[in-house]
């Protein structure tokens, strides 16, 4: 599944649009394992093709208790030399996107336990928040290819985004979204591919 969603970037780096994936399921279904193993393999495959891609996996319970913590942490991991003192959350996110574009680097981001971050920030961001921010990155450069290859949201249940998943209005018109439900009997291996089967 994840191979099909992200494989085209390895064939055509710099000529793809951002994709958003939801991996939802109860505890013990392999959500974290699925995303993390895929992300590491995808990063290795990219770098073997001389594509400077970062895979960053953030546990929102431990590393991102606020949007400020999340965006500051991402900037430090991608661009540690950039000064962020006095920046707002929006400015840090914008700085990250512009840095990736100017440096020719790429990012695949996974937010684990994102429902925890949503609950914590809902009072502060009743009409926005992390889902809104990260699914509208394409609007910073409308009609252009994206250096944020994709965002994977990992959560326990659909309640975090409503009974039908993310609200349609959250997504930009050019953004593609995909939903991967995992049950307790799910095999994480079905969601990613082996290093020898990468396209191209």
Torsion of the alpha carbons at 113, 178, 13 and 137, rounded to the nearest 10: -60
Q: Which own/partner pairs from 162-170 qualify as long-range (CB within 8 Å, at least 24 positions apart)? A: 165/22, 166/20, 166/22, 166/131, 166/135, 170/131, 170/132, 170/135, 170/136
pLDDT at site 28 = 85
pLDDT at site 157 = 65
2-9+19-157 is classed CATH 3.20.20.70: no
Closest CA to 20 of 127, 136, 140, 112: 136
d(CA 84, CA 43): 26
What's the token pair of residue 198? Answer: 């990468």
pLDDT at site 67 = 93
pLDDT at site 119 = 85
pTM: 0.81
By residue count, the chain amounts to 200
pLDDT at site 144 = 84
pLDDT at site 63 = 93
- Helix 67-78 and helix 89-103, axial crossing angle in degrees, nearest 10: 20
pLDDT at site 156 = 84
For residue 21, report the phi and psi dihedrals to the nearest 5 degrees: -125, 135
DSSP 189: G
Q: Domain segments of the chain: what residues? A: 2-9+19-157
What's the token pair of residue 101? Answer: 């574009």
SS3 state of residue 164: coil
pLDDT in single tens digits along all 200 residues of the chain:
788 889 999 999 999 989 999 888 888 888 999 999 999 999 999 999 999 999 999 999 999 989 999 999 999 999 999 988 888 999 999 999 999 999 999 999 999 999 899 888 877 665 668 988 998 888 888 888 889 999 999 998 654 544 444 444 444 433 345 667 676 655 555 454 333 344 44
């Amino acid at each position: 599944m994840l191979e099909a969603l992200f494989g085209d970037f390895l064939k055509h780096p710099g000529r793809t649009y951002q994709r958003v994936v939801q991996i939802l399921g109860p505890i013990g279904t392999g959500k974290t394992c699925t995303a993390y193993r895929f992300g590491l393999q995808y990063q290795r495959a990219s770098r073997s093709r001389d594509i400077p891609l970062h895979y960053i996996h953030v546990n929102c319970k431990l590393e991102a208790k606020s949007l400020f913590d999340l965006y500051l942490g991402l900037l430090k991991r991608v661009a540690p030399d950039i000064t962020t003192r006095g920046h707002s959350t929006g400015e840090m996110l914008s700085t990250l996107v512009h840095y990736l574009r100017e440096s020719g680097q790429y990012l695949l981001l996974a937010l684990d336990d994102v429902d925890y971050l949503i609950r914590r920030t809902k009072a502060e961001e009743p009409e926005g928040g992390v889902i809104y921010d990260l699914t509208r990155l394409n609007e910073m450069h409308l009609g252009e290819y994206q250096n944020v290859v994709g965002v994977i949201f990992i959560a326990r249940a659909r309640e975090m985004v409503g009974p039908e998943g993310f609200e349609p209005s959250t997504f930009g018109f050019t953004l593609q979204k995909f939903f991967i439900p995992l049950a307790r009997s799910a095999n994480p291996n079905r969601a990613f591919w082996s290093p020898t089967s990468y396209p191209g």
